[in-house]
Chain A
Amino acid sequence: MLTAEDKKLICQIWGKIEGHQEEFGAEALERMFVTYPQTKTYFPHFDLSHGSDQVRGHGKKVVAALGNAAKSLDNLSQALSELSNLHAYNLRVDPVNFKAGWGLGLLSQCFQVVLAAHLGKDYTPEVHAAFDKFLSAVAAVLSEKYR
């Protein structure tokens, strides 16, 4: 459950991500492909080499969607409705990839690692907790319509 304080922290952090959407998104995806090679099975049509334009483009897309979610914290279901449909009926990415019970889903973990790597000390325990909750909430909405 996102508290008012969580929402404030998420907005603050998002301010630091804006302007780096493509960079952070691409890095998160690259880390995910390297650390969890099974995730590559969803991208047989992509060039997954380091610096790939497709990965950069897709990373930018993913982070932009998260940014949209971050601006709609009071109504995540609605903001992510189309993406929720897409993931459930079209992409059918196994939810473990973005949500693994209470633990971090694979992409969620990698995105947090990117933030920690770039923000260092600014990725405080409080920000970490708020962001983890945010990503879990997004994951929950994305997997809502799976069955």
Chain B
Amino acid sequence: MVHWSAEEKQLITSLWGKVNVEECGAEALARLLIVYPWTQRFFANFGNLSSPTAIIGNPKVRAHGKKVLSSFGEAIKNLDNIKTTYSKLSELHCEKLHVDPENFRLLGDILIIVLSAHFTKDFDPACQATWQKLVGVVAHALAYKYH
């Protein structure tokens, strides 16, 4: 079980309260597909992904980004129980979606950059450290049920 200090929990929940899940989620997923184009392999049925502009404006990318980041919200509500919270999602990503867990780490790092661009000075080193820990824990939990 992951230990979260009171300060870490505070840094997570207070920032999360200000996150526009739809916007941030859409942006994080779009950047994943733009910065690491091979990740597009999982979204062949999303339509036009031919350029950064196309990806950013793609409604399926936006919707899926929102879905992914909303799920993050579940982890934040269950910080002491993330592995259990993501148990089914982990199985899904392994058995049905066949996603290499490295992608969870890539998306996590991208999310950090998106948060930094949004919150600028407020996303200070302590905040970044806590959130990097969180995305690492989420990535680990999503990979946990792989077999």
Interface residues of A (CB under 8 A from B): 27, 30-31, 34-36, 101-104, 109-110, 112-114, 116-121, 123, 125-126, 128-129, 132
Contacts and interface: CB of A to CB of B under 8 A. Distances in A.
A127 to B, nearest CB: 10
13 contacts: A27-B125, A31-B125, A35-B125, A102-B106, A103-B102, A103-B106, A113-B112, A113-B116, A114-B116, A117-B117, A117-B121, A125-B52, A129-B34
A125 B129 contact: no
B interface SS class: helix
B142 interface: no
A117 B35 contact: no
Contacts of B112: 109, 113
Contacts of B123: 113, 117
A30 B125 contact: yes
B5 interface: no
Interface string B30-41: 110011100000
Nearest to B51: A126
Contacts of B52: 125-126, 129
A128 B113 contact: yes
B117 A34 contact: no
A35 B132 contact: yes
A128 B34 CA distance: 9
B106 A117 contact: no
A42 to B, nearest CB: 18
Given A30-B125, A120-B117, A121-B117, A104 B132 contact: no
Given A35-B129, A102-B102, A116-B120, 15 more contacts: A34-B126, A34-B128, A36-B132, A109-B109, A113-B113, A113-B123, A116-B117, A119-B117, A125-B30, A125-B34, A125-B52, A125-B55, A125-B56, A128-B31, A129-B34
A117 B34 contact: no
B105 interface: yes
Contacts of A126: 34, 52
Interface in B116-139: 116-121, 123, 125-126, 128-129, 132
Contacts of A132: 35
A9 B64 CA distance: 28
Contacts of A109: 109, 112-113, 132
B18 to A, nearest CB: 15
A126 B35 CA distance: 8
